Homo-oligomer: A and B are copies of this chain.
Amino acid sequence: MPKLYHHPLDPQSRFVRLALAEYGVEAELQEERSFERRRDFLALNPAGTLPVLVEDNGTVVPGPAPIAEWLDESRGHTVPDRRLMPEPPHERIEVRRLLDWFNGKFFAEVSSWLVTEKVHKRFMSAEQGGGAPSMEMVRAARANIRYHLHYIGYLVARRNFIAGGDITFADLAAAAHLSCVDFLGDVPWSEDETARSWYARVKSRPSFRTLLADRVPGITPAANYADLDF
């Protein structure tokens, strides 16, 4: 069985867990705290980042975008009716642009800050950068998320899903990042009804179930985190 090095509240790991589930690939989950910079983990991915997928034959695939491309190249043909990377070249461009948006921009401006400040810093030593959350970072992330939420609403209102008429990797990336922020109670859902109803649609997919059951010691998820009708 393939193995996925992940963290329950790492948005990019969640993106890959959703993609694996949508493609019907069962994987063993191995929790990794990337900030510990464990030697054997760095040997798998010298960048030291999550997630990393290790296939049965030993193939190592690090990083959300390389994993998405690999999953589609290795399994896409087995699920022709629900491929997450569309065939038409123009649609592929849009999926990749939005993958970069969520795994790059949204991560850098919102989800990475919130998860680092509110979750990882509890488990880090002082030397690793642990301590109380920086409320300045938390406030900045809470301000930034608002325009991302409206951008999702804008796209979905014109297309049905984020990158087009059908669900793609882009929806899974967006939903994965939002799910971490939602766990922490920091998504202002009332500000964009279109984005909220799109998220409700993605969240009720079977692939989402294990994410909603995730817990992290000492942290209680926000009240409506696991509700499909929130």
Chain A interface (Cβ < 8 Å from any Cβ of B) = 45-47, 59-63, 65-66, 69-70, 73-74, 89-90, 92-93, 96-97, 100-101, 104-105, 151
Contacts and interface: CB of A to CB of B under 8 A. Distances in A.
Contact of A46 (B45, B46, B73, B151): B151
Nearest to A64: B100
B100 A61 contact: no
A90 B59 contact: yes
Copies of this chain, count: 2
Contacts of A90: 59
Nearest to A53: B93
A129 to B, nearest CB: 15
B47 A70 contact: no
Nearest to A46: B151
Given A74-B89, A89-B70, A96 B65 contact: yes
Given A47-B100, A47-B101, A93 B151 contact: no
A142 to B, nearest CB: 20
Contact of A93 (B47, B66, B89, B101): B66
Contacts of A74: 89
B101 A59 contact: no
Given A70-B93, A92-B73, A105-B47, A65 B151 contact: no
Nearest to A74: B89
Contacts of A70: 89, 92-93
Contact of A69 (B46, B92, B104, B151): B92
